[in-house]
Amino acid sequence: MADRLLVAAALPSADALARALDGARHAGYPRPEVFSPHPLAELRGDGLGRGFGWALVVALLVAGAALLVQYYAAVGAYPMNVSGKPVDAWAPLTPAAVVVGLMAAGIWALVALFRDAGLPRLQHPVFDTSRVDFGADRWYVLAIEVKESELPRLRSWLKGLGVEEIEVIRP
Contact in structure between 35 and 140 (CB atoms under 8 Å): yes
Contact, 90 vs 71, CB < 8 A?
yes
CA 1 → CA 4, 8, 150, distances in Å?
Answer: 6, 18, 14
Residue 2 within binding range of other proteins, rule CB under 8 A: no
Residues 6+ apart with CB under 8 A from 127: 134
Give the binding range for other proteins (CB under 8 A) out of 3-11, 90-98, 145-153, 157-165. 90-98
* 30 binds other proteins, rule: CB under 8 A: no
Q: Please name the amino acid found at residue 143.
A: A
Establish if 62 lies at the interface with other proteins (CB under 8 A).
Answer: no
* CA neighbor of 87 nearest in space, from 95, 100, 97, 77: 77
Decide if residue 7 touches other proteins (CB under 8 A): no
Sites for other proteins among residues 121-140 (CB under 8 A): 121-124, 126-127, 133-138
Task: Give the binding range for other proteins (CB under 8 A) out of 22-30, 42-50, 146-154, 157-165.
Answer: 42-50
How far apart CA 24 and CA 73 sit, in angstroms, is 59
Examine residue 120 and tell whether it contacts other proteins (CB under 8 A): yes
Residues that bind other proteins (CB under 8 A): 14, 21, 33-41, 43-52, 55, 59, 70, 73-74, 77-78, 80, 82, 85, 89, 92-93, 95-96, 98-100, 102-103, 105-107, 109-110, 112-114, 116-124, 126-127, 133-138
